[in-house]
Amino acid sequence: MKRLLLTIIALFLVNGSVFSQKRELGKVKTVMIDPGHGGKKPGAIGKKSKEKDITLSIALKLGETIKANFKDVKVLYTRTTDVDIDLAERAQMANRAKADLFISIHANSHKKHEPSGTETFVMGLSTSKANMEVARTENADILLEADYKNNSEYQGFDPNAPESYIMFTLYQNAFLEKSLNFAEYIQKQYKSRIKTIDRGVKQGELFVLYKTSMPAVLTEIGFISNAKEEEYMLSEEGQNEYVYCIASAFAQYKAFEENSPLVEIPAPRRQKKSSITATETNKTQPKAETTTVEEKSNTQKTLEVKVTVIDSIKNNNSNAETTKNNNSNDQKSSADTKTQTSAENDDERIEYRVQFLVVKSKLPENDPAFKGVTDYNFYTQDGTIRYTKGNEVNVEKAQEIAKELKEKGFKDAFIVPFYKGKRISGYEAKKINETKNKQ
C-alpha cells in the first residue's frame, strides 16, 4: 500500500512537471533569448569587437530588463557565456522549454564600411540578394560545427549551395503572423529611439528560425563594419537603447497577445549628443525588396515563380494603395481599375482582410496560383502585389476566412488590419479599438 502511494505521488509529480511546461494559449510566459554566435564562432568582426561579445552583452541585459518588468515571465538563454552552441540546438532548446517567443540577437556586417541601420528578420523566402546574403552569412556557422554533414537536424543543408535553400519552400509557419507583428514592434522602437536607418522587417532562410516551433525573430541591431555603429554597440548608452527597444517591443507584443495592459519599460537616460547617426544618404538607403523574378531565380534556381509565402517587408508606415479586382465578365478591362475601398472612406472603422498571396506583378484572373479563389482584392505595397480576401469589421469573420484559405492550401494566410486606407499592426488596431470603446 505504501509503495502504491509512493508510485501515485511520483506520477503526480512527473505529470505536474510536464503540465507546467505546456504553453498556455494566448499567454507569453517563457522567452528564449539567443545571443548570436559564440565560442569558436565569432560572427562578424569589427575594428574593435566581435559580434559574439556584443550580442551576449545585450542579450543578458535584455533578459534582466524583462525579468525586472515582468514577474510572470521566465527568461531563458541559449548561452550566458562565450560558448559554442550549434544552430539547430539553439532552436531545440527553445522547443524543449516550450518557449512562447524566441529572440535571436545579431550584428550585421558588409564588405563596405558605409552601410548602416537596423533590420529584423522572420523565417521565410528571401526576396532580394541582400536578404539572401544575410541568411547565408548567419547560416555559415553550420560549417564550423564538428561533423555537421552527419547531423540529421540539418537534413544535408549546405549554407553555400543555392540548391539547398529549396527545402525552405516547404516551410509552413503557423506563427508567421505573430513573428511579423513582433518584428514590426522592434523596428518601430528602433526607428523612434536610434538615429540610424530603418531597414525594415524582412524574411530570410535562417536555419535557427526554421527549426523553432514558436513565434521567432532574428534582429540585426546594426553594422559592426560601420565604425560609428560599432562604437554605439560597444557603448553603455547604445546597449541600453537596444535593450530598451527590444524590451518595449516585447511589452507591446505581450499586451496584444494577452489582451492585457501595456507595461511601460523605463527609458534609459540619453546623452545630449547621440553617438550614432545615419551615414547612408537617401541615395544609398536600402530600397524596398523589389527584385525581379529573374534575380530571385538566380539565387534559388529551382524555385517556382509563384510562391505563396508572405512577403518579407511589413512597412506599415507607408500608405497602402488599394485596388479591387473586378471578376465580372461584363466589366473586364485591359487597364487596371483602381477603386477606393471602404477602408479609405470617411468611416473610421478598422477593417480586417486576410492576406494570402504576394507576387511581383499582377496575375491574370484565372491564374492557378489563386487555387480557385475568385472573390479577392489586392493592394500594392513596396513594389509587390498583395492579394487579400474579405473586408470585415468583425475580426471573427476574418478568422473564418483565414481558416477557409488555409484549407485551400494557403497555409500562411493571415489577418491584416486597415485603418483610413493604411495597413496597421495588430497592436495599433487594439489601441484604436480601446480608444473608441472609451468614447
Find residue 240's DSSP bridge partners: none
Q: Which amino acid is at 177?
A: E
The whole-number pLDDT of residue 1 equals 45
Question: Per the domain annotation, does 73 fall within a domain?
Answer: yes
pLDDT bracket for residue 358 (50, 70, 90):
confident
Per-residue pLDDT tens for 311-350? 333 333 333 344 444 344 333 333 333 333 333 344 678 8
User: Do 226 and 77 fall into the same domain?
Assistant: yes
Per-residue pLDDT tens for 30-42? 999 999 999 999 9
Q: Which amino acid is at 10?
A: A
Per-residue pLDDT tens for 273-313? 444 654 443 334 443 333 333 333 333 333 332 333 333 33
User: Do 279 and 323 fall into the same domain?
Assistant: no
pTM of the model: 0.60
Phi then psi dihedrals of residue 93, to 5 deg:
-60, -45
User: Do 135 and 270 fall into the same domain?
Assistant: yes
Here the CATH number for the domain that contains residue 40 is 3.40.630.40
Question: Per the domain annotation, does 307 fall within a domain?
Answer: no
Question: Per the domain annotation, does 37 fall within a domain?
Answer: yes
Q: Which residue has the cell 485551400?
A: 408
CA-to-CA separations, 349 to 163, 418, 419, 437, in angstroms, rounded: 46, 9, 7, 12
The whole-number pLDDT of residue 14 equals 36
User: Do 90 and 34 fall into the same domain?
Assistant: yes
User: Do 347 and 241 fall into the same domain?
Assistant: no
Question: Per the domain annotation, does 2 fall within a domain?
Answer: no
Spatial distance between the Cα atoms of 229 and 226, rounded to a whole number of angstroms = 5
Provide the total of helices (H) and of strands (E) in the chain, helices listed first.
11, 12
Spatial distance between the Cα atoms of 387 and 45, rounded to a whole number of angstroms = 41
Indicate the range of 45-59, 204-218, 270-284 predicted with least confidence. 270-284
User: Do 243 and 331 fall into the same domain?
Assistant: no
**Domain extent for 411:** 316-438
User: Do 102 and 240 fall into the same domain?
Assistant: yes
User: Do 352 and 242 fall into the same domain?
Assistant: no
pLDDT bracket for residue 50 (50, 70, 90):
very high
User: Do 336 and 275 fall into the same domain?
Assistant: no
Those residues with Cβ within 8 angstroms of residue 361's Cβ, 6 or more apart along the chain or in another chain: 385
User: Do 111 and 208 fall into the same domain?
Assistant: yes
Per-residue pLDDT tens for 372-409? 898 899 888 756 788 999 988 888 888 888 888 888 88
Question: Per the domain annotation, does 78 fall within a domain?
Answer: yes
Question: Per the domain annotation, does 304 fall within a domain?
Answer: no
Pairing of strands 101-108, 30-35: parallel
Question: Per the domain annotation, does 298 fall within a domain?
Answer: no
Cell of 426: 495588430
Count of CB atoms situated within 10 Å of the CB of 49: 18
Last residue of a domain, one of 284, 307, 327: 284
Question: Per the domain annotation, does 41 fall within a domain?
Answer: yes
The whole-number pLDDT of residue 382 equals 58
CA-to-CA separations, 328 to 184, 301, 361, 377, in angstroms, rounded: 37, 37, 21, 13
Last residue of a domain, one of 268, 284, 300: 284
CA 159 from chain centre, in angstroms, equals 21
**Total domain count for the chain?**
2
User: Do 67 and 181 fall into the same domain?
Assistant: yes
Mean pLDDT computed over 226-252:
97
- Please report the beta strands in 205-349, taking only residues with DSSP state E, as ranges in sequence order: 216-223, 321-324
User: Do 361 and 270 fall into the same domain?
Assistant: no
